[in-house]
Amino acid sequence: MFSHINGLIRAKQNNKTGYELAKAYLGESFLTAMNIRYIPPEDVTLKPSLFNTLK
């Protein structure tokens, strides 16, 4: 779920995703350790059905 939320491009973040910003500040190894992966913005799903896949 975090990967999908952080895959959205946001104008307030200079058109970057939350993932890109976190990677710049925290490093990719931290994101990997937290099991957060990059999802291209065009593949982001923010629908209730996403919760069903997490169970």
* Half-sphere exposure (Cβ direction) of 21: Cα atoms closer than 13 Å: 14
Can you give the residue range of the structural domain that contains 19?
Answer: 2-53
Instruction: State how many domains the chain has.
Output: 1
Which is it for the CA torsion 36, 39, 41, 43, positive or negative? negative
DSSP class of residue 43?
G
Q: pLDDT tens, 1-54?
A: 455 555 666 667 777 888 888 899 999 999 999 988 888 878 877 666 655 655
Q: Is 32 left (phi over 0), alpha (psi -120 to 50) or beta?
A: alpha
pLDDT at 10: 67
Q: How far apart are CA 15 and CA 32, in angstroms?
A: 23
pLDDT at 28: 92
pLDDT at 30: 94
